[in-house]
Amino acid sequence: MDRITIHPPFFLVESQQDCWKCGQSCAVYGFIASEITGDDGPAFEGPYFLQNVEELPAPLAESLPVGEESFAKVGSLTAGFAYYANICKCGANFGDHYLFSKPGGAFFPLGPKDLAKIKLVPVESSQAFEVAASYGTVPTGLAV
């Protein structure tokens, strides 16, 4: 995983997702960074969803309204490494690819109704952080 520097303002994002294993609807969380810098720099303009985050800076971790049983660093057979992921009460890992990159996933809305389900909460931090993570686009219409 490449190391990138994430810059504020940051946002905690929350949405709902049905578990692929048990079918239960659960709150799922992610983070948005307003700017990213790194060796190559982003190929597109921000803001950016943080994905496959291997290290979670304290201000981001402290903004989560859930315990370690719901958002934890877990190994992923699909990704081939451990990263911070949303975990269902049944123990299933939602997987960042499923939430952020699959059309209809919690953070890949297919229309205004899906977009309206995503809640944004500012994270109190004025500090930039270097992390091992990937990033993706934030949907058009999400007021950041």
Q: Which residues lie across from 25 on neighbouring strands?
A: 18
Domain ranges of the chain: 3-137
- Residue 68, pLDDT score: 67
- Residue 45, pLDDT score: 84
Is there a contact between 89 and 75 (Cβ–Cβ < 8 Å)? no
What are the φ and ψ backbone dihedral angles of 58, each rounded to 5 degrees?
-50, -45
Place of tokens 């943080």: 50
Q: What's the pLDDT tens digit per position in 2-41? A: 789 999 999 999 999 999 999 999 999 999 999 999 867 7
- Residue 143, pLDDT score: 65
- What's the burial of 46, exposed, middle or buried (CB within 10 Å: 0-12/13-18/19+)? middle
